[in-house]
Amino acid sequence: MSEPVPLSEPVPLSEPDRPIALVDLLDRVLGGGVVITGEITLSIADVDLVRISLRSLLASVTALEPRS
């Protein structure tokens, strides 16, 4: 693992703009957006990718924790 993943950089109220925390982004790109099924090679709806990604996210966070 190279760089630690920026998990939640709190966005201050005075500056409501990017950069974006990865968790907030994943909430949206994996949990939102239009889902179209059929005639498609892969749609996120076909697999429980949210769970998969969160699992890898969790594993990575655990690895980053100094102690737990």
Binding site for another protein (CB under 8 A): 1-2, 5, 7-8, 10-11, 13, 16-17, 20-36, 39-45, 47, 49, 52-62, 65
Three-state SS at 24: helix
- CA pair distance 35, 62, nearest whole angstrom: 31
Q: How far is the CB of 4 from another protein (least distance, A)?
A: 10
Could you tell me the smallest distance in angstroms from the CB atom of residue 51 to another protein?
Answer: 10
Tell me the closest approach of the beta carbon of residue 19 to another protein, in angstroms.
Answer: 10
**Is residue 64 classed as helix, strand or coil in its secondary structure?**
helix
CB closer to another protein out of 33 and 66 = 33
Closest C-alpha among 56, 62, 63 to residue 1: 63
